[in-house]
Structure 1
Amino acid sequence: MAAPPQIAVLGAGIFVKSQYIPRLAEIAHLLSLKYIWSRTEESSKVAVEIAKQHFPGVECKWGDQGLNDIIQDAYLLGVAVVLAGQAQVDISLKLLKAGKHVIQEKPAAASTPKIETALASYNSICTKPGQPIWSVAENYRFELAFVESKKLMADIGDMMNVQVIIEGSMNSSNPYFSSSWRRNFEGGFILDMGVHFIAALRMMVGSEVASVSAITSHIDTTLPPPDIISSNFKLENGCSGVFVMVVSASSPKIIWRVVGSKGTLQVERGKKDGKHGYVVALYSADGQCKSTFYPFSGVNEELKAFIHDILQASLKKESGYEAEPRSSFLEGARDVAVLEAMLESGSMGGALVHVKKF
């Protein structure tokens, strides 16, 4: 048996403390968490104290010297980059150039021009088999609800219409509300949150979004603009749909609904027996409804997939290894491209915009 791969986590913010450390702890038998890095010594130490309950050997690293130590560590196989959206791509590329496999938090990058530049840099590194894997952490593609929904699409016949309605809860009681980088990010919360909902949409329908026409507005002045987007879209398969996102609503609701010629498939965020997750409901032509609740499992599943990939890649170094496609940087890029097109259309009063292809 190969030794569990050694990994590092860059970042010590809310998501690392509330999600990454607990989810990595659930798969602690598969990996060794060697370092947690932050810009400051203080925040790194706080995160390490939490992680030590599960990974007693984990070490603190901080600042430029700490980052350099991680880059230079020949025994370190993979790194999770969980930083401010503006900083992630440059640091990911530094690590990839040093031969580390990277799983980077979404969004893939702030814009499609930045994605193109990043992909050019990555492709210049990847000139031979066995080069490092660059994953984007998009847990919605790993949620069992969407994995199962994709299979159920065959039961609703020809796709006729798609509706995605997102009424979010990004207000002062949300831990991410005061996150400064999201407020200074192109597209703000719409882009940062929205990539999840687009990822789920693209996965369910199995067709790319070809063009969009959107109206954007700014109503809640405690949020960066825009905070509301209402878009018509057309899929490459010819089907039309609507995507509506309100960043902060008094009664949150998150729903994907696909109407077909033989039935309708709906996925709705909800709660059952104290667990958060999704209800997947299949409505057949005879009025019957079959529904199943799937608790959240995406973060755990995407991390397991990454650990599996980096271990396989290290064992098959010379022959090259095909990593999990759902995590690829390209998939993350395609999510950003859809939202960027919607935001661009909104800034032009609803003009038709074609989605950039990656």
Structure 2
Amino acid sequence: MAKQIQIAIIGAGTFVKNQYIPRLSEISNLVSIKYIWSRSEESARSAVELANKSFTEVECKWGDAGLDDIIKDSSVVGVAVVLAAQVQVDIALRLLKAGKHVIQEKPAVANNAEAEMALSNYNFISPGIPNKPIWAVAENYRFEPGFIEGRMLIGEIGDMMSVQVIVEGSMNSSNPYFSSSWRRNFTGGFILDMGVHMIAGLRMLVGCELKSVSALTAHIDTTLPPPDTYPVHSIQLENGCPGIFVMATNIAPQIFWRVVGLNGTVQVERGNVDGKHGYLVSKFNVAGQCTSSFHPFSGVTEELKTFLHDISEASSDHKPDPRLSFSEGVRDVAVLEAMLESGTKQGAIVPVKTLTRSEILNIGL
């Protein structure tokens, strides 16, 4: 039986209660939650009460003093940072400097400038030592079986001819994140927060980076911060393949990724089968015949299991799973940043700025 890894959760909001605590409960043989922290005592206690059902020893921490307690506790080797995007990087770096392995929620950063500053600070942690604390970004789309299956099938359809990403996301008063204040005060707002998932899914499927984008943006739903709509995006992959990316909020959900190749087409679509939410993966051959499979959501559980495994092997020559790397999260943001910039320039083509391989090696990620 694997040894339980002791962690803390920084944050006690909706996603912690709806996802982190339930998913960690499913793998309680691998992990023990020692602390849950929030800015307020009330919020922390409400999350601890929920976690107590599976983790009876979990303690409540709040405020600056509570955070200091967690930082100083050497028995806590891993920390999940699930906070507003504006403060996640600063908190993560404090924990990393204390020697904790960190998995923080997406988006990794607000923009490339913040990414460069964050990576520079990370590089100064234990200089000269190859095994720095792990800095991971939670991006469950890279761990969803539907995307893993889709990537495999795309390898069977020959050279790519076009890609399409259509996102109609329901962001209205019925959505638990609609009233989130940090998303309303964040550059790009809901589009950036939700959009990094869609870009992660695209990059996962096609297996290459995006080279450039051309975007038109709009602000139609005044209950949401601008922009709320990307009516048209033309994109170009590094392999030369063209495509489109269309994203609009406040509509009944319909989300799919479609890749057309010389020998067939692969589509990954969010859906619901027998009451289970997940991804329907379909492959069409040149004769129009279709084979499909459905994969229920399990990405959050799989990414947390991978993070725990990487922690357990951190003292060896084991390389952390690249799907969780901070640099991958930064690349997702870089695409959205280019789209936002293009939107302000009436659709001008904007290159996507991404970290080079040598830069990644230089910072030890």
Would the TM-score normalized by the shorter structure come out above 0.5?
A: yes
1:49-60 correspondence to structure 2 within 5 Å:
49-60=49-60
* Runs of 4 or more consecutive aligned structure 1 residues displaced over 3 Å after TM superposition: none
Structure 2: gaps spanning 5 or more residues:
356-365
Partner of 1:183: 184
What is the identity, as a one-letter code, of the residue corresponding to 2:62? Answer: W
Matched, 1:325 2:327: no
Percent of aligned pairs with the same amino acid: 66
Instruction: Give, in whole Å, the separation in 2 of the partners of 1:123 and 1:162.
Output: 36
Partner of 2:105: 105
Instruction: Give, in whole Å, the separation in 1 of the partners of 2:154 and 2:35.
Output: 42
What is the identity, as a one-letter code, of the residue corresponding to 1:240? Answer: P
1:277–1:295 contact (8 Å) kept in structure 2? yes
2:2–2:29 contact (8 Å) kept in structure 1? no
Partner of 1:304: 305
Partner of 1:11: 11
Instruction: Give, in whole Å, the separation in 2 of the partners of 1:220 and 1:208.
Output: 31
Q: Give the 3-state SS of the residue equivalent to 1:20 in structure 2.
A: helix
Deviation at 1:247, TM superposition (A): 1.6
Instruction: Give, in whole Å, the separation in 1 of the partners of 2:126 and 2:292.
Output: 44
Matched, 1:241 2:243: yes
Matched, 1:197 2:198: yes
1:126–1:132 contact (8 Å) kept in structure 2? no
Q: Could you report, residue by residue, the CA deviation over 1:20-51 in whole angstroms, capped at 9, with x for unpaired residues?
A: 00000000000111000000000000000000
Instruction: Give, in whole Å, the separation in 2 of the partners of 1:150 and 1:221.
Output: 37
Q: Give the 3-state SS of the residue equivalent to 1:87 in structure 2.
A: helix
Q: Structure 1 pair 133/47, CA: closer, same or farther in 2 (3 Å)?
A: same
Instruction: Give, in whole Å, the separation in 1 of the partners of 2:137 and 2:126.
Output: 17
What is the identity, as a one-letter code, of the residue corresponding to 2:234? Answer: N
Instruction: Give, in whole Å, the separation in 2 of the partners of 1:299 and 1:357.
Output: 25
Partner of 2:140: 139
Deviation at 1:204, TM superposition (A): 0.3
1:227–1:247 contact (8 Å) kept in structure 2? yes
Instruction: Give, in whole Å, the separation in 1 of the partners of 2:155 and 2:257.
Output: 16
Deviation at 1:126, TM superposition (A): 4.9
Instruction: Give, in whole Å, the separation in 1 of the partners of 2:213 and 2:125.
Output: 34
1:164-175 correspondence to structure 2 within 5 Å:
164-175=165-176
Instruction: Give, in whole Å, the separation in 2 of the partners of 1:155 and 1:285.
Output: 12
Partner of 1:283: 284
Q: Give the 3-state SS of the residue equivalent to 2:108 in structure 1.
A: coil
Matched, 1:86 2:83: no
Q: Could you report, residue by residue, the CA deviation over 1:40-65 in whole angstroms, capped at 9, with x for unpaired residues?
A: 00000000000000000000000000
What is the identity, as a one-letter code, of the residue corresponding to 1:216? Answer: T
Deviation at 1:286, TM superposition (A): 1.6
> RMSD of the TM alignment (CA)?
0.9
Q: Could you report, residue by residue, the CA deviation over 1:164-209 in whole angstroms, capped at 9, with x for unpaired residues?
A: 0000000000000000000000110010000000000001001100
Q: Give the 3-state SS of the residue equivalent to 2:309 in structure 1.
A: helix
1:77–1:101 contact (8 Å) kept in structure 2? yes
Q: Give the 3-state SS of the residue equivalent to 2:29 in structure 1.
A: helix
Structure 1: gaps spanning 5 or more residues:
none
Instruction: Give, in whole Å, the separation in 2 of the partners of 1:130 and 1:335.
Output: 25
- Normalised by the length of structure 2, the TM-score is 0.95
2:2–2:30 contact (8 Å) kept in structure 1? no
Deviation at 1:129, TM superposition (A): 2.4
1:69-80 correspondence to structure 2 within 5 Å:
69-80=69-80
Q: Structure 1 pair 354/10, CA: closer, same or farther in 2 (3 Å)?
A: same
What is the identity, as a one-letter code, of the residue corresponding to 2:250? Answer: S
- Normalised by the length of structure 1, the TM-score is 0.97
